[in-house]
Amino acid sequence: MFLWHGSERILEKPAHGKGKPYNDYGTGFYCTENRDMAMEWAVQRGHSGYANHYLLCEDTLSILYLNQEPWCILHWLAVLLENRTFEVRAPLTAEAKEYLTSHFMPPYKDYDLIIGYRADDSYFSFAQDFLNGTISVRQLRNAMYLGRLGEQIVLKSRQAFEKLQFLEYEIAHTQIWYPKRQQRDHAARKNYFDLERNKRRKDDLYILQIIDEEVTADDPRLRSDLS
């Protein structure tokens, strides 16, 4: 598996146990298979950085694929809620957080590697809208595809770090990649408000229904096709 990591620094030997604990999946080394996405991550503070390139031998690692069966978008959201900080704006939001983390939390800490969505600022706001009851499960699922953000790969265990080999780095020039980052984020937000936020459907499933009906992970409504 060839991975990229955008950073302010050149990282030849990433250290296990370092990093911010309030990232999407907690402490870990966050990567992507998309070189251009790493370039955008590298310039998030508005100045030039580096896209570090690695080879990961994942054949003996345990991998949690959060975007595949038997998991659904609410499992991803439960992990996000345990790690990210966000504003609880209403009693429903607090109740939603408690319900999702108690009914949809996967054993993600038991894995060497996690593959799932990345919640950039715009995408985290989509998740907040779902928790506030503004959009449905289907709309949230659709919204995650709007900016073509793709998946992130997160190294969690010491064993995973030991199997990571540094290959090279490329300079991410802020004058090139910061506008692209801003453009992608703007496009995702615009498409969300134009196409998704007001696109209600009669069979949509909202967080209030999920709580009241005590919906569980085996409910087929959580795995409907994107539309």
CA distances from 16 to 44, 93, 130 (A): 23, 34, 33
Question: How many whole angstroms separate alpha carbon 86 and alpha carbon 88?
Answer: 6
Share of the chain above pLDDT 90, in %: 63
DSSP-derived secondary structure for 125-175? HHHHHHHTTSS-HHHHHHHTTTT---EEEEE-SHHHHHTEEEEEEEEE-HH
Contact 42, 172 (CB under 8 A): yes
pLDDT digits (tens, 9 = 90+) for 84-125: 887 777 889 999 999 999 999 999 999 999 999 887 766 677
pLDDT value at residue 170 = 98
- pLDDT per residue as tens digits for the range 142-183: 877 655 566 899 999 999 999 999 999 999 999 999 999 888
How much is the pTM? 0.88
Rounded CA gap, 53 and 35, in Å?
8
The rounded distance, in Å, linking the Cα atoms of 186 and 189 is 5
Structure tokens at 175: 């004058």
